[in-house]
Chain A
Amino acid sequence: MSQGVSAGGPAQEIAFAPGSAILEIDNLRTHFFTQAGVVRAVDGVSYTLRAGETLGIVGESGCGKSVTALSVLRLVASPPGRIVGGTIRLGGTNLLELAESEMEAIRGNEISMIFQEPMTSLNPLLTVGRQISEAIVLHQGLPPREAMDKAVDMLRRVSIPEPERRIHAYPHQLSGGMRQRVMIAMALSCNPKVLIADEPTTALDVTIQAQILELMRELQDTFGTAIVLITHDMGVVAENADRVIVMYAGRKVEEADARMLFESPGHPYTRGLLGSIPKLDVAARLDAHRNRLNEIKGMVPSLNDLPEGCTFAPRCEFATDQCHAAYPPLTQHRPGHLIACWHADKLLAGVA
């Protein structure tokens, strides 16, 4: 159902949920300058993260979801990467204008990040306790002994058994789930306002994934941290995010609160993604036939050679001449529901 609220206007972030904006990203553009040409990894992405919420960012490999996050912390490798435009505001300060030394005071302190594979971000030569306490000493100025006590306390909070003993463990002595708990303990040790979690459970088994996601929800309730949850797993987003952004080829193509996005997605790409995932609970298994999954034909375009017009058009079953000619603006079709598609109104009304 389209209510047509300000349809046709330019992309506008409109406050539709309580909670003040903590992190505001406006028209961020991060490009990579390679021999093969300019790769527009992030090409005009805007979003607002509000206090205490979980914002899910979904998309397939190469859609720019991780580069967006790395840009926020100014961790994009340069060269070849460079943030070529936009602003990233944390409580009013544009992070892109800060000196590197000022940025260091933000990382791990105001904004923390956890990654898919904890082994890539944990130092294999230092004990877990040393690594957690180091950040506490650095950012909070506690003496080392007290920082170590706080590290033990953080390990206890992330439900690591025998924290007094584990504090002396090296990363390789821990299981994958335990390492991810250590990463979370480290990330939250300075009580950051924002936690960016980039595929935090992708490398874990499902029963361990369930543990970690539950832990993140509990810690969010305790600390009030706002979380950016980056994942390719629609199930993880559906069960954990308050609001969801769908990215495709470096741009945001849809944004809505989680219920709206999963119950009435508007962008053909979002619809295609949801249709292409086998679901455990569907009626399909009640009949003897195995249904075919919906396919999205073709594949993601190369980011240094994007098609004219809408980048999804070559794979889209609804594409018209208009789609191949011009990229559709991101417009609000219902309160809080932004879609970048020329045919979104028709799709939402169920007539396409």
Chain B
Amino acid sequence: MTAADIVPGIANGASGGQPLIEVRGLKKHFPILKGLFSRPAGTVYAVDGVSFHINHGETLGLVGESGCGKSTVGRTLLKLMEPTAGQIILRGEDITDHNQGRMLPYRRQMQMIYQDPYASLNPRMSAGEIVGEPMVIHRVAAGDERRDRVAALFKRVGLRPELMGSYPHEFSGGQRQRIGIARALALSPELVVGDEPVSALDVSIQAQIINLLMDLQDEFKLSYLFVAHDLAVVEHLSHRVAVMYLGRIVELTDKTSLFDMPLHPYTEALLSAVPIPKYSARSRKRVILKGDVPSPINPPKGCHFHERCLYAYARCREETPVLREVMPAHLAACHLHDDGVKLPLGRPAAA
């Protein structure tokens, strides 16, 4: 079985027509302002040249550690933040420079689910009003019709419609996340960006929400950008996975290839650092990285990862590696593979 059997149009869009959304060279830099006159004192290179696409009905997982820019990618993709550079192409149309007004019809197609449903739900609105609000804004349904549609959404995400009149604080964490999901689905979007949507939940509730997200995807043919730090969750939900480190994608491929044969040393270390809930996992070989993630304000020269990399050599300190296809449909940004695929990298995931 090849990766292409799993997802049509993998990686380079080799087959299967136009992707739903595509970003090219996306950058998002934040100025650091200092002093009374807000003088620019530096730049946070949160996202520094990221390219990927998402196909119809596909989940692209985006993993990385805190500060790597994964959430900023999600927000910039939906144009909740204006990108500093690069292009966002929805269904072949460049929407990068669309202003608020021109974006409105596109917003219906792209929705977001947040990590902390309590912080993202208005405490003064009832659950029913929260879920129905997008229909008000986009004038798609009113009165009884809106009520019925909200009730149907409640049922679909596993909430009793009688709870439509309750307020966010009356719900548990898992139920609030269901409200957030119902709201995101209210306008029948095609793309949903989930920013750590299950990270704040207890394991037993997390499984319920993960299953719900997968069922909804199958039912409504949704495309997901699933942003998370938990590799096991990403592996479970995604078709393809992009690994980010300090503002850049360092590896991008279908999940089977990524987890079975990581081509980037950072991916390898990340996989081997994840604790596995099995007793037999104790004996596995582990790569333990030294040091902390460097600051995106002053990223290291060359490969951003070279200071912590076990395989780094002179070139890595000078030259930035380009994300390129090292193996069919398997992209990695690492100099190690320049003379053909070298795999000093082990197989960190326990067998």
Contacts and interface: CB of A to CB of B under 8 A. Distances in A.
A7 B269 CA distance: 45
Interface residues of A, number: 50
A272 B279 contact: no
Interface string A263-292: 100000000111011111100111010111
A209 B349 CA distance: 17
B236 A284 contact: yes
A238 interface: yes
Contacts of A273: 203-204
B339 interface: no
B204 A285 contact: no
Contacts of A285: 235, 255-256, 259
A277 B274 CA distance: 13
A297 B134 CA distance: 30
B237 A60 contact: no
A236 B275 contact: yes
A88 B168 CA distance: 40
B269 A234 contact: no
Interface string A29-70: 000000000000000000000000000000011000000000
B204 A239 contact: no
Nearest to A59: B202
Contacts of B289: 207, 210-211
B327 interface: no
A281 B255 contact: no
Nearest to B290: A211
B277 A238 contact: yes
Given A234-B203, A296-B204, A206 B210 contact: no
B203 A235 contact: no
B345 interface: no
Contacts of B276: 235, 238-239, 279-281
Contacts of B15: none
A166 interface: no
A139 B248 CA distance: 49
A292 B271 CA distance: 22
Contacts of B255: 285
Given A177-B292, A239-B282, A281-B351, A295 B274 contact: no
A292 B213 CA distance: 10
A296 B203 CA distance: 9
Interface string B1-31: 1000110000000000000000000000000
A208 B67 CA distance: 13
A178 interface: yes
A295 B211 contact: yes
Interface stretch (B106-114, B117-125, B188-196, B226-234): B226-234
B156 interface: no
Given A206-B270, A235-B275, A278 B233 contact: yes
B57 to A, nearest CB: 12
B259 A262 contact: no
Contact of A207 (B208, B233, B273): B273
B207 A239 contact: no
Contact of B207 (A209, A232, A258, A296): A296
Interface string A64-92: 00000000000000000000000000000
Contacts of A240: 275
The dominant DSSP class at the B interface is: helix
Given A232-B203, A290-B236, A280 B214 contact: no
Which of B206, B276, B282 has its CB near the most chain A CB atoms (within 10 A)? Answer: B276
A175 B295 CA distance: 10
A264 to B, nearest CB: 10
Which of A208, A273, A274, A279 has its CB near the most chain B CB atoms (within 10 A)? Answer: A279
Contact of B202 (A263, A293, A300): A300
Interface string B170-211: 001010000000000000000000000000001111111011
Given A281-B349, A293-B211, A299-B174, A205 B236 contact: no
B66 interface: yes
Contact of A294 (B207, B274, B279, B282): B207
Contacts of A175: 292
Interface string B225-254: 000010111011100000000000000000
Nearest to A209: B273
B278 A60 contact: no
Contacts of A172: none
A259 interface: yes
A285 B256 CA distance: 6
B335 interface: no
Contacts of A297: 208
A110 interface: no
A210 B231 contact: no
Contacts of B271: 280
B275 A238 contact: yes
A238 B278 contact: yes
Interface string A175-216: 101100000000000000000000000000111111101100
Given A205-B293, A288-B1, A210 B278 contact: no
A164 interface: no
Contacts of A205: 65-66, 229, 293
Contact of A280 (B204, B235, B237, B286): B235
Contacts of B278: 238, 262, 279, 281
B342 to A, nearest CB: 22
Contacts of B286: 210
Contacts of B203: 60, 232, 234, 273, 276-277
24 contacts: A175-B292, A178-B292, A206-B65, A206-B229, A206-B231, A207-B270, A207-B293, A209-B273, A232-B202, A235-B277, A236-B275, A238-B276, A238-B282, A239-B276, A259-B279, A277-B203, A280-B276, A281-B278, A285-B256, A288-B1, A290-B214, A292-B214, A296-B204, A297-B208
Given A279-B278, A290-B236, A292-B211, 10 more contacts: A207-B270, A210-B273, A233-B275, A235-B276, A277-B232, A278-B210, A281-B350, A288-B1, A297-B208, A299-B205
Interface of A: 60-61, 175, 177-178, 205-211, 213-214, 232-240, 258-259, 262-263, 272-274, 276-281, 284-286, 288, 290-297, 299-300
Interface of B: 1, 5-6, 65-66, 172, 174, 202-208, 210-211, 214, 229, 231-233, 235-237, 255-256, 259, 269-279, 281-282, 286, 288-290, 292-293, 349-351
